[in-house]
Amino acid sequence: MTDERLESAADVDQRVLAPALRWTRAFRWDLDKTYLETEFDTFGNLLRTALQRASQKRSVAGAPALMREIRAAGPHRVCIVSGSPRQMRRVLEEKLRLDGVEWDEFALKPSLSNLIRGRFRAIRDQVGYKLPLLLDGRSRVPPDCEEYLFGDDAEADAFIYSLFSDLLAGRVGAATLEQILDACEVYRDQKEQTLALARAATRGDVVRRIFIHLERRSPPVRFSPYGRRMVPVYNYFQAALVLFADGVLPAPSVLKVAAEMVSSYGYGLHSLSNSFQDILRRGYAEVGVLTGLADAVEQYASLFDVFRPAKDILEAFTRRLGALADSRPAPPPPPATIDYLALLDDTRRR
């Protein structure tokens, strides 16, 4: 590996975990605008972000609770792949600890090194940075380990995550990948590294969901070319609902995410109910499956005494379920192929 090598905390965390632990799912998270409310559209915003202390950084509503519940729900590997510079490692790790979040891998971008070496394209490039990290991280999980990816609509996360998925599934070959890397003008060593990692990767259709946090309120239809595995979400309560419907999270985890959003981020029952209805209308969860949330309230009544809004939230959701029971549309079929070169041009324009 070159200077772009992933810096991992896995060796530390695995000494704590049972040696025979078998990861069943890997959750890979971006940070800026995905987990953290980060502003970097102007130089002033960028400077303020760089100078913030951990206690001054604000998490996206529901993200800490969702990350904690993901970790608690099984032998799940949590990996962070962020475009923030490596010099911010200490403050970012401190922020995650303040939120009670644990992780296994943490990669940050060698921006200062790129600057010193005159690799100016690499400072803004995401494809040549994130894609090899994702492929390299795949080598540290079992071949059948499922992948769940979290990004946002501010950069190229949708494109990169989908390309990673299709490379693993064998739907994108080496020739197409080389064309994409050339179009992205990645540096030669990045290109060679990415092609080598793609060749070595164990093939499998293992990416189950790609969640895109709509930080910029992009219309969800913008992501329809990527197919049904990509789930644009306005908030992490919606992501928790989909993970519950997929059998990844139990009902109490969904309620904990909702309760944190109400108690710590100012969400109301109306906004959460609208989020609930929206994810159903877009066909990412079945009405019958989500009625299990209402069934769980009585079973976990004593647990949710701490989370005061839980019962009211579920009552509101139950009313929405009745309204939607006969109006849920069938999900559209996934596209047969994805034209990544065309999507790359569209991503650049945006």
> Last residue of some domain: 212, 229, 246?
229
Residues 233 and 34: their CA atoms lie apart, in Å, by 11
> Last residue of some domain: 211, 229, 247?
229
Question: What pLDDT shows up at residue 124?
Answer: 78
Please check whether residues 80 and 165 belong to one and the same domain.
yes
Contact 1, 131 (CB under 8 A): no
Answer positive or negative: Cα dihedral of 90, 96, 99, 104: negative
Please check whether residues 314 and 280 belong to one and the same domain.
yes
Please check whether residues 129 and 14 belong to one and the same domain.
yes
Indicate whether 53 belongs to any domain. Answer: yes
pLDDT digit string, tens, across residues 179-203: 999 999 999 999 999 999 999 999 9
Please check whether residues 211 and 63 belong to one and the same domain.
yes
Indicate whether 350 belongs to any domain. Answer: no
Which two structure tokens, joined as six digits, stand for 67?
Answer: 């990350």
Residues 128 and 131: their CA atoms lie apart, in Å, by 6
Please check whether residues 182 and 248 belong to one and the same domain.
no
Indicate whether 339 belongs to any domain. Answer: no
Please check whether residues 186 and 258 belong to one and the same domain.
no
Question: What pLDDT shows up at residue 310?
Answer: 55
Distances (CA, A) of 72 to 29, 50, 68, 130: 16, 31, 6, 26
Please check whether residues 224 and 245 belong to one and the same domain.
no
Q: Buried b vs exposed e over 109-139: b needs ≥16 C-beta within 10 Å?
A: bbbeebeeeebeebeebbbbbbbbbbbbbbe
Contact 248, 292 (CB under 8 A): no
Question: What pLDDT shows up at residue 281?
Answer: 86
Please check whether residues 71 and 122 belong to one and the same domain.
yes
Please check whether residues 95 and 26 belong to one and the same domain.
yes
Please tell me whether residue 57 adopts helix, strand or coil conformation: coil
User: In the 8-state DSSP scheme, what is residue 335?
Assistant: P
Cα atoms in the 13 Å half-sphere on the side-chain side of 20 = 0
Q: What is the CA radius of gyration of the chain?
A: 20
Residues 77 and 146: their CA atoms lie apart, in Å, by 10
Q: Give the residue numbers spanning the domain of 191.
A: 10-229
Q: State which H helix or E strand residue 85 sits in.
A: strand 76-85
Which two structure tokens, joined as six digits, stand for 139?
Answer: 């080598």
User: In the 8-state DSSP scheme, what is residue 87?
Assistant: G
Give alpha helix (H) positions in 266-309.
Answer: 269-281, 287-299
Nearest in space to 211 (alpha carbons), one of 175, 177, 236: 236
Strand partners, 106: 80
Indicate whether 113 belongs to any domain. Answer: yes
Indicate whether 19 belongs to any domain. Answer: yes
> Last residue of some domain: 229, 263, 298?
229
Indicate whether 24 belongs to any domain. Answer: yes
Backbone angles phi, psi at 25, to 5 degrees: -145, 145
Question: What pLDDT shows up at residue 147?
Answer: 98
Please check whether residues 204 and 244 belong to one and the same domain.
no
Question: What pLDDT shows up at residue 84?
Answer: 85
Per the structure, the count of domains in the chain is 2
Q: Render each residue's pLDDT in the chain as its tens digit; 350 residues.
A: 444 444 433 333 333 343 446 899 999 999 999 999 876 555 455 556 565 788 789 999 999 999 999 999 999 999 999 988 888 899 999 999 999 999 999 999 887 777 777 776 767 788 999 999 999 999 999 999 999 999 999 889 999 999 999 999 999 999 999 999 999 999 999 999 999 999 999 999 999 999 999 999 999 999 999 998 999 999 999 999 999 999 999 988 988 898 899 889 988 878 888 898 899 889 888 766 776 776 665 566 555 554 455 556 666 666 666 665 555 444 545 655 899 999 987 776 66
Please check whether residues 217 and 278 belong to one and the same domain.
no
Give alpha helix (H) positions in 216-337.
Answer: 236-245, 251-265, 269-281, 287-299, 310-324
Contact 78, 67 (CB under 8 A): yes
Residues 203 and 246: their CA atoms lie apart, in Å, by 23
Please check whether residues 125 and 37 belong to one and the same domain.
yes
Please tell me whether residue 22 adopts helix, strand or coil conformation: coil
Q: Can you state the percent helix, strand and coil of the chain, rounding each to 5?
A: 55, 10, 35
pLDDT digit string, tens, across residues 121-139: 767 788 999 999 999 999 9
Which two structure tokens, joined as six digits, stand for 110?
Answer: 């060698």
Domain of residue 210, CATH code? 3.40.50.1000
Nearest in space to 60 (alpha carbons), one of 88, 90, 17, 30: 30
User: In the 8-state DSSP scheme, what is residue 165?
Assistant: H
Amino acid identity at 118: G
Which two structure tokens, joined as six digits, stand for 302?
Answer: 């004593």
Indicate whether 345 belongs to any domain. Answer: no
Indicate whether 348 belongs to any domain. Answer: no
